[in-house]
Amino acid sequence: MTEQAGKPLVVALMGPTASGKTAAALAIARDIPSEIISVDSALVYRGMDVGTAKPNAAELAEVPHHLIDILDPREAYSAMQFREDALQLAGEILGRGKLPLLVGGTMLYFRALQDGLDDLPQADPAVRARLDLEAEEIGYPALHARLATLDPETAARLKPNDSQRIQRALEIIELTRQPMSALLSGRRKLELPFSLLPLALEPSDRGVLHTRIAARFELMLADKKNGLIAEVEQLRARGDLHLGLPSMRCVGYRQAWEYLDGLYGYEEMREKGIAATRQLAKRQLTWLRSMPDRIVVDPLENGSTDTLLRKIKHFRLDPSRASSH
């Protein structure tokens, strides 16, 4: 939890898919004047409503929402762009005397906001291709030995057969003439202009979460006229979208697209979609467990929304007491 005296409060409401984040955020906003900043890499796209479980028109009208429907599915949105947008929006919302509610499940975005991102060079296909050829000739243990002479700190963290990370570390040295360890240690810790209260909706029963995920995906498929398949058919009909785009790789959309391509039947598509969504939830929970400062609330418990409100109000009155109530 990042709390500094005198700084305004911003709440981060995190959780896996189907954990009830939207309903909880709306309930908070009914009690505390708020505006919602979406922290979701899929909700940014226009025309992708069903498969993303986008808030409906009534929900969007009830509370101001931000970073929803801001991009065409052809476009890409980065964690760094999110950080810039979220910082600006939070400042504007605070200026209006309201509580900024960061709500979503794209954990990389939360991490980017709180910690910033490493200023490392983008991948270079030519350098990677050459390293791949070298690896075929001499093997990754030999490349690891080379890395140990150039960047012993990074090499010490990696196993000799960790091909992806060894390649990345050698690529960075070639592109920057500096070891990756030096670049990482030189990263300046970015201080937020507000106190961030990280609340995590984590269901105590994973089986209940899995049941919710399956039921929600079934509901997305149930409406033949306005459901997920019809939505993906409309996206395909544009003619300028493909599975290589970040938007079409979103859970549910990839499976529906491949089903329409004839790669497998309806039942297999349904099973694959549910399985992929459950895997997404598992990754989200793994990210959450790596955030030691988060305050966990079980959405399956009666009164979980009251618990969230109580923690926010206690934090506003006395930040040091927030985790004890």
Q: Any idea which residue has 């899995």 for tokens?
A: 210
pLDDT value, residue 321: 43
* pLDDT tens readout for residues 1-32: 444 557 999 999 999 999 999 999 999 999 99
Distance CA(290)–CA(286), nearest Å, equals 7
| Beta-carbon contacts of residue 214 (< 8 Å; ≥ 6 apart) | 274
* pLDDT tens readout for residues 187-205: 555 789 999 999 999 999 9
* pLDDT tens readout for residues 254-264: 999 999 999 99
**How does residue 320 score in pLDDT terms, banded at 50, 70 and 90?**
low
pLDDT value, residue 165: 87
Distance CA(42)–CA(68), nearest Å, equals 9
| Beta strands in the chain, from DSSP E residues, in sequence order | 9-14, 34-39, 65-66, 99-104, 195-201, 295-297
Using CA atoms, how far residue 120 sits from 76, 173, 203, in Å, is: 19, 10, 36
Q: Is the pLDDT of residue 322 over 60?
A: no
284: phi then psi, degrees, rounded to nearest 5: -65, -40
Average pLDDT value for residue range 285-308: 96
Q: Is the pLDDT of residue 237 over 90?
A: yes
User: Contact, 63 vs 56, CB < 8 A?
Assistant: no
pTM for this entry? 0.80
Q: What is the separation, in whole angstroms, between the first and last Cα of the chain?
A: 15
Beta bridge partners of 197: 11
